[in-house]
Structure 1
Amino acid sequence: MAAPPTTQLPAFLNQTRAQLHAKFVDLEWQQRNRLLQGTQSPTSPSDPPSPWSRLTGDAISARNRYLNVEPYAHNRVKLKVAGAANDYINASPIVLGKRRYIATQGPKDTNVNHFYRMLAQECSGPGPAVVVMLTQTHEAGREKCFQYYPLSAEESPLVVPDEDEDEDENEGHVAGDHFHGEVELQSVEVDGSSRSEVRSMRLRTRTSTEGGMTGNETLKREKEIRHLLFSGWPDVLIPEGEDRQALIQLVHLSNTLNQAPSTNGHASATNHDSQSNPRIIHCSAGVGRSGTFIALDYLLSLLYAGELDHLAEDGMDPIAETVDLLRQQRMMMVQGEAQFNFLYEVLRERWEARVGGGSQV
């Protein structure tokens, strides 16, 4: 068991606003340099491509919601499709310590097949797939995310279209396996503590194989989904008032739902090691709110495990380091300075509550 933390705030939580501004500016310059390096060609054919390069072409840009937000080519989720089919989805696997996530954009109307193909592929472990949606479908009169899930029983089941039957000339080669299915809404409830809508859904998918020993075959699969919709977070900004405490509760709820099944039936919301699947986190672009949520989840897990206690006074700053690690895996994560400062504010509040004997949540 970790020793109790000191009552004095550690140095990284006792910085001035000017010091935090300087750190954010430094992170922004590092990001600009990476993006610039990603546009430069290797000096010789034998040189490897830059780790910050991105994919190009109409078949790629057609699947992006925003032209300036893309995964790095070396760190992206690749859809498992046949042959020369387009395996692209705007999604990045994120690893922080032993925690795994997928940060992705809010699906477009043409991305529903890709989103559920990714979910079925990447969340194949025991337990449900957990999806955290941090945007409304429309904000300020603009679509931020297509409604890719059934809102009510009247809209259930939602059809996952067969991409192979609706080929777009900009999409490139189709997948060839006729992946399609439906999403059935089992229940929906409002969780008061996290101020979120929690949907239990079942994904049923079908794919076709050709040329097997018995000819053409159809493979059917099912996956449980827990979909958490949090609408109290304006784009680019931060949650305020009661929405701030609700967001912390949402972090814990998403982690609890994602725990691997235990032999004793119990799961801890602060356990590092018992995750079942990567959590799929998205807002609209999948970088600002999504990056802040992922950073907060990871940093709170360190705080509650005692791993931030008694840090040496040597300038170590786990928050800035976490944001840098995130940005090395997906561009623009924790997009705005307000979101960067928000991480320090929440960690400071949780630290003081913990040393004062308050609730971790």
Structure 2
Amino acid sequence: MATRSASTQSLSSEMPSALPQFLRQDRSTLIHNFNYLENDQRDRLSEQHDNPEQESEWARLTGNDIAIRNRYINVEPFANNRIKLAVAEGYNDYINASPIALGPRRYIATQGPKSTSTSQFYRMLAQETGRDTPAVVVMLTQTHEAGREKCFKYFPDTPETPLELQPDPEINDGFEGKVELISVEEDATSRCAMRHLKLHYKSAKAEEDQNDDEDWKEKEIYHLLFVGWPDFSVPEGENRNAMLKLITKSAELNKPPNVPTPAEFPPALDPASEPSATASPRIIHCSAGVGRSGTFIALDFLLAHLERGNLDSVPDDVDPIFDTVNAMRRQRMMMVQSEAQFLFLYDVMRLAWLEHHRAADAEP
């Protein structure tokens, strides 16, 4: 396995000296570090593949009933860190979605729904988001790119044409409903289409004698569709600025609750840590739910630390960006999938750090 370069080994003389050490690393060092992450991930997956009967946190699920629900054969959640649908014992509880914990911040990274998994997607949404708060969904892909379906169009076009959710024949426990479009607006600053949706759903039956009339519930959803981000790549020009506005907008819509950022970096990055009692995870997806989704989540987390001043005095031997990507990849494979996306994190954080401190210096 390649060894990770120390952040003091390669510095660019063109970087402002005020920048912390982790933001002064040159391109070759960053590429080396990305390759380290890639090799580390490859070793973990190979170890599990070679020893399938050995218990491992990198275990992968098998079986046709699992594979048919995946959009891509090589992207799936780890068996010990996945969202499990609340279904009766003996039924398939699988959905290609992983809980991502970074300090007290909670996300769900998932693949773009397929036509056959739309009902499962909304079941997960109703199950995993706060009961008294709207769900926030960020979609970072177009439905079709380069002539291929990247995500099924799982939301209604007009208020007059709600999306019907039929009972799932694989589960057959009575979960059904519809999704209504309440309003849609184009937000110029974030270059996204923001849809206010309402999910009407009938809960899965726990008892045979449940009163059907009392079993219907409602869930508000804010759905943010951003299409300025090509697959495997990064948003450029105005789309980059818009994406940063989208991060802020999605966080604001997720309030209340106001989930705090840890006071220091690095935070507790233990995926098994208890979530805040008021936290409701944002659901983030692109097509596979790893590249664009992982990059978005990393920036949301890191920019929150920047705003709180937690990146002002980072020791020279600590790289918060590398550590964040590494923490995410321990929870879902391939998060921040491409080299371009990894380098993009440093570009964005470098500019954001300089802008943040220019603004702070300008204050009286």
TM range (shorter): 0.7 to 0.9
Aligned residues: 334
Shift of 1:274: 9.5
Structure 1 residue 291: deviation in Å? Answer: 0.3
Q: 1:123 aligns with which of 113, 121, 129?
A: 129
Cα distance in structure 1, aligned partners of 2:155 and 2:146: 21
8 Å contact from structure 1 (residues 196, 230) kept in 2: yes
Q: Does 1:278 align with 2:281?
A: yes
Change (3 A) 1:213 1:91: closer
Q: Retained in 1: the 8 A contact 2:298–2:325?
A: yes
Q: Specify the alignment match of 1:301 in structure 2.
A: 304
* Partner SS, residue 316 of structure 1: coil
Residues 223-245 of structure 1, C-alpha deviations (whole Å, 9 max, x = no match): 00000000000000000000000
- For residue 57 of structure 1, the aligned residue among 58, 63, 75 is 63
- The residue number in structure 2 matching 1:225 is 221
> Hey, what does 1:158 align to over in structure 2?
163
Identity within the alignment, %: 53
Cα separation, partners in 2 of 1:214 and 1:82, compared to 1, 3 Å = closer
- In structure 1, the partner of 2:28 is 18
Q: Would you say the 8 A contact 1:208–1:216 is kept in 2?
A: no
SS of 2:293's equivalent in the other structure is: helix
- RMSD, aligned α-carbons: 2.3
Tell me which residue corresponds to 1:187: 183
What are the superposed Cα offsets for residues 318-341 of structure 1, whole Å, 9 maximum, x if unpaired?
000000001000000000000000
**Is the 2:104–2:260 contact (alpha carbons within 8 Å) kept by the matching residues of 1?**
no
Match of 2:199, SS state, is strand
Q: CA deviation at 1:252?
A: 0.3
Q: In 1, Cα distance between the equivalents of 2:173 and 2:197?
A: 24
Partners of 1:103 and 1:176 in 2: how far apart?
26
Distance (Å, rounded) in 1 between the aligned partners of 2:148 and 2:168? 26
Shift of 1:40: 3.0
CA drift at 1:355: 0.8
Rounded to whole Å, the distance in 1 between the matches of 2:66 and 2:95 is 8
1:345 partner letter: D
Q: 2:313 aligns with which of 310, 314, 319?
A: 310
Alignment of 1:194-213 (within 5 A): 194-207=190-203, 209=205, 211-212=207-208
Residue of structure 2 aligned with 1:31, choices 31, 34, 41: 41
Q: Which residue of 1 aligns with 2:340?
A: 338
Alpha-carbon offset, residue 278 of structure 1: 0.2
Choose which of 331, 337, 352 in structure 2 pairs with 1:350.
352
| Contact 1:136-1:231 at 8 Å conserved across structures | yes
**TM-score by structure 1 length?**
0.87
- Three-state SS of the structure 2 residue aligned to 1:284 is coil
Contact 2:232 / 2:291 at 8 angstroms: preserved in 1? yes
Separation of aligned partners in 1, 2:152 and 2:55: 34
